[in-house]
Every structure is written in structure tokens, then in C-alpha cells.
Amino acid sequence: MTAQPHSNLALYAVMPAAGIGRRMGAALPKQYLTIANKPIIHYSLEPLLNHPSIARVVVVLAPDDSWFETLTIAKHPKITTVVGGGERADSVLAGLQALPAQGRVLVHDAARPCLTLTDLDRLIAAQTQEGGAILACAVRDTMKRANSDGTIAQTVDRQLLYHALTPQLFDLDSLRLTLARALDQQVTITDEASAMEWAGEQVTLVDGRSDNIKVTRAEDLTLAELFLAQQQRITQEVK
């Protein structure tokens, strides 16, 4: 049987949302902190749910999560929820295991609310049969490598250095098998691309917008609200 062209494979998304976000110092996980009366995860899900090519979005929750089910967006017909694990890679794998055997999959951070549909389209268009693709932003600042005591060890050439963003897009079965192998061998996985790199797969960098920030610290909330307002998404409703 002739293999199906890669671009014709079904497209899915996984959103790991089982993290606690200790650096925020908040009383609840950072993805549930609000911007203009809506939780961060609402904005993070919107582009995925509104994209016509994405068939299903699997949201991976902590075992004791009592917040997601109370959200209006949780009732969206594209959404499925599963329980995640202790680390990001465990949660992503749990999400992948809830999807069909074949397809393509986007993995997007729950605390990255400023993704635009334009960047999402560019990422989907960039994936090839040979490997995956991730949104990334070229490093603009001078980069320093530190010593363990907090002093500067050296200045690092920023040329060809990128900040890895999400979504990250891969063949579903390849990512599922690779994450399972990496976890079994106790490989350190910082994002999905790092797992695929470890497996020797080619991953393409797709220039993404610098406003696609991940909310990590308290001051990021103000910045994310500014970016969402500029994108005219503060009052946008999910279709």
C-alpha cells in the first residue's frame, strides 16, 4: 500500500498542563492565573481549537486538578483530557497515547498564551516528511555562560542561537516511540525537540514571533496582557 503523504495525515495537538509553576509563587498553577478575567490556558488553547486543520486537542492534567473542568473552554467538542505524570515528558507521552496510531501532532505549552494563527500556519506548512519543526526566535541579546558562583565564565557567540518556542510539530508515532525510549533510558528531555534530536531526527527551526512568551514569572502576566491586547484577543471568544 502506498504511504499517505505527510501533509494529508490527521493533525492533532497535545497540551501538557500538569505543571505547578513554582516560580510564580501563586496559590494555584500558573496556567489558571487570569488575564482580563480568563485563565492563561484559555488563550493558549484558542488558536489550536480555532484552527480548522486540528482535529482534536488533548489536555494533560495533574491527577488532583480541580480547575480545568470548571472552565467554559473545557466543554469545547475538540477537547479530550487525560491524567499526566511527574515530568513534562511523562505528560506529553500520556497525551500521545490517547491519540490514534498515525498522524501528526503539535505540542504547545499551557502557559504560552500569545501564539498567533499566522505562526501556527507557518509551522504546519514547514513540517516535512524527513522530520519535525518547531517555532523558534533568534537570540538578540549578548549571551553569557555563568560559573557556579554566579560570575561570568565566558561570552557565548549568539550567532545561530535560538530560543525554542512552542508549538513543536512531529510525526505522532515517531514522537510517541522516541519519548517512550528516552524515558526508559532516563534521558534528560527538556522539550519534544530535544528527544527527537537525541534520536537523530532532523528538526527544522521556523522563525516565530518574539511575543510568543511563556508565562513563568509574575511580571510576565503584564507583558502577556499587553501582547494579547495588541493581537486584539482580549475580548475574543472561542468559536
By the 10 Å C-beta count (0-12 exposed, 13-18 middle, 19+ buried), 195 is classed as buried
* Low-confidence spans in the chain with pLDDT less than 70: 1-7, 20-26, 128-130, 235-239
Q: pTM, whole model, 2 decimals?
A: 0.91
* % of residues, the chain, pLDDT over 90: 83
- pLDDT, residue 157, reads 86
- pLDDT, residue 204, reads 94
Distance of alpha carbon 55 from alpha carbon 51, whole angstroms: 9
Distance of alpha carbon 207 from alpha carbon 114, whole angstroms: 15
Show the domains of the chain with their CATH numbers: 6-128+165-199+213-230 (3.90.550.10)
Helix and strand counts by DSSP (H, E) for the chain: 6, 11
Amino acid at 229: A
DSSP 186: T
- pLDDT, residue 1, reads 37
Q: Is 191 helix (H, G, I), strand (E, B) or coil?
A: coil
- pLDDT, residue 234, reads 86
Write out pLDDT tens, residues 83-109.
999 899 999 999 999 999 999 999 999
* CB of 179 closer than 8 Å to CB of 168: no
